[in-house]
Amino acid sequence: MTDPILSVRDLAIAYRTGRKESVTAVSGVDLDLYEGQSLALVGESGCGKTTLGLGLLRLLPGLGEITSGSLTYRLKDGRRADLLKMKKEQLRRFRWNEAAMVFQGAMNAFNPVIRIVDHFADTLRDHSDGKQRWTKAEVEARAGELLETVRLDPDRVLQSYPHELSGGMKQRALIALAIALDPQVLVLDEPTTALDLLTQRSIVQQLHELRKKFGFTMVFITHDLGLAAELADRVATMYAGRIIETGSARDIFYAPKHPYTAGLINAVMPVKGERPALESIPGYPPSLKAMPDGCAFNPRCAFATAECKQDRVPLELLTDRPLAMHHSVACLHHDQVILRRKENANV
Ligand SMILES: Nc1ncnc2c1ncn2[C@@H]1O[C@H](COP(=O)(O)OP(=O)(O)OP(=O)(O)O)[C@@H](O)[C@H]1O
Ligand code: SF4
Ligand SMILES: [Mg+2]
């Protein structure tokens, strides 16, 4: 567990918004992902979760670009690769074969005029390492096996068009497609958001089973803390494009040290125990075009002092545990932060 599969240092991502204008959506991100871990990336809408997730796989849309930092991966063969130096062809093989993504809004991620089996054929042929040709029979066998793993009936699903499947079936099929080439890392962006509660539960259960079976490392993007608590070994909280706290699920849900993380937890109703009055976080996240000086959370923070308005606050290591299990926070007054709600039955 000493050599992370994925290492991100000081990563910044910007979107071009005009001929000479751009906004920085993610900045100063340091992140290590260790083999077999499941990391939840949490935070309010617009904080940069999807942007970071896409950046990790160099899948940013045309107007988005990584403007600084480093991004390295340990490939399946053990070599360390600099993802920012990879050329088009290397990237094509890297994606889906080494690391795959289930996109946000996945319900629309399938091409509506292509049958499910042909989505598998395209992914297997376009992204494999070239050692296998993927004949029609091989594609059908692999796709069938994967669909069964996510409890879909291949006889019904393979020849279907996407609109013939329910939302939950589509989501399962997308997860099966993402793991078709046995990637080491799977990034899932809000994979259960549009689904009813029972279907959500079943997808979560499936993800547990798939991880056990295939052993992939997972980045799970969500604004649902309950899901994060259930699926994650580690949690990273994002605010205004930065990671402002990271720790084990236990650290984050029982002893958060950033006022924003504590605020998020206090804003969620526990499912057992007393029903406390929920607290909301006052104000709104800042606009990317008008970031406050110093700690970006300072206009909303009950602990803010003049010092908080001066310089950017870096992540500080709070524990002397091995790095894979550290707790870090970007707050000058973290020693004053105590979770008001002790009962957190979601964890
Ligand atoms: N193509 C784009 N062009 C310009 N700005 C963008 C673009 N995509 C995202 N952004 C901006 O980047 C910021 C981060 O967006 P992102 O989609 O990563 O947030 P998010 O945390 O995933 O939000 P949500 O929870 O709503 O999915 C937002 O302020 C958003 O407006
Ligand atoms: S650094 Fe200051 S403003 Fe930022 S979260 Fe900590 S106390 Fe609040
Ligand atoms: Mg998003």
The DSSP string of 124-168 is HHHHS-SS----HHHHHHHHHHHHHHTT--HHHHTT--GGGS-HH
Atom of ligand 2 nearest to the CA of 301: 8
What confidence score (pLDDT) does residue 133 get? 86
Say how many domains are in the chain. Answer: 2
Beta carbon of 242 within 6 Å of any ligand 1 atom: no
- Give residue 146's domain range: 6-232
Do 186 and 119 lie in a common domain? yes
What confidence score (pLDDT) does residue 347 get? 45
Beta carbon of 49 within 6 Å of any ligand 1 atom: yes
Do 102 and 207 lie in a common domain? yes
Q: How far is the CA of 28 from the centre of ligand 3 (A)?
A: 19
Query: Quick check: 51 and 45 in contact, CB under 8 A?
Result: no
Atom of ligand 2 nearest to the CA of 313: 1
- Domain limit, last residue, from 232, 262, 295: 232
Taking only the tens place, the pLDDT of each residue in 228-267 is: 988 999 999 999 999 999 999 999 999 999 999 999 998 8
CA dist., res. 260 & res. 15, Å (int): 25
Q: Whose Cα sits closest to atom 2 in ligand 1?
A: 15
Q: How far is the CA of 316 from the centre of ligand 2 (A)?
A: 13
- The percentage of residues in the chain with a pLDDT greater than 70, rounded to a whole number, is 94
Q: How far is the CA of 34 from the centre of ligand 2 (A)?
A: 29
Do 261 and 183 lie in a common domain? no
Average per-residue pLDDT in the chain?
Answer: 90
To test the pocket of ligand 2, the residue of 238, 301, 309 to mutate (highest count of ligand atoms within 8 Å of its CB) is 301
Atom of ligand 1 nearest to the CA of 53: 18
Give the three-class secondary structure for 236.
strand
What confidence score (pLDDT) does residue 200 get? 87
Do 95 and 194 lie in a common domain? yes
Q: How far is the CA of 80 from the centre of ligand 3 (A)?
A: 28
Do 227 and 248 lie in a common domain? no
- Is 343 part of a structural domain of the chain? no
Task: Answer with the residue of higher pLDDT: 220 or 341.
Answer: 220
Do 204 and 292 lie in a common domain? no
- Is 1 part of a structural domain of the chain? no
CA dist., res. 120 & res. 3, Å (int): 32
Do 164 and 270 lie in a common domain? no
Rg of the chain over all Cα atoms, to the nearest angstrom: 21
Q: How far is the CA of 237 from the centre of ligand 2 (A)?
A: 14
Question: CA-CA-CA-CA torsion for 288, 292, 294, 297, nearest 10 degrees?
Answer: -80
Beta carbon of 295 within 6 Å of any ligand 2 atom: yes
CATH of the domain at 203: 3.40.50.300
Count the neighbouring beta carbons within 10 Å of the beta carbon of residue 213. Answer: 10
Flag whether pLDDT at 272 surpasses 60.
no
- Is 344 part of a structural domain of the chain? no
Do 173 and 214 lie in a common domain? yes
What confidence score (pLDDT) does residue 240 get? 96
pLDDT-based confidence at residue 20 (cuts at 50, 70, 90): confident
The number of residues making up the chain comes to 347
Flag whether pLDDT at 269 surpasses 60.
no
Do 207 and 73 lie in a common domain? yes
Task: Answer with the residue of higher pLDDT: 128 or 120.
Answer: 120
- Is 341 part of a structural domain of the chain? no
Flag whether pLDDT at 130 surpasses 90.
no
Q: How far is the CA of 46 from the centre of ligand 3 (A)?
A: 7
- Is 342 part of a structural domain of the chain? no
pLDDT-based confidence at residue 341 (cuts at 50, 70, 90): low
Do 121 and 142 lie in a common domain? yes
- Is 142 part of a structural domain of the chain? yes
Taking only the tens place, the pLDDT of each residue in 66-95 is: 999 999 999 999 999 999 999 998 998 899
pLDDT-based confidence at residue 277 (cuts at 50, 70, 90): low
Count the neighbouring beta carbons within 10 Å of the beta carbon of residue 286. Answer: 18
Flag whether pLDDT at 346 surpasses 50.
no
Q: Whose Cα sits closest to atom 6 in ligand 2?
A: 331
- Is 69 part of a structural domain of the chain? yes
Query: Quick check: 110 and 116 in contact, CB under 8 A?
Result: yes
- Is 137 part of a structural domain of the chain? yes
- Domain limit, last residue, from 232, 250, 269: 232
Q: How far is the CA of 105 from the centre of ligand 3 (A)?
A: 9
Beta carbon of 298 within 6 Å of any ligand 2 atom: yes
Beta carbon of 110 within 6 Å of any ligand 2 atom: no
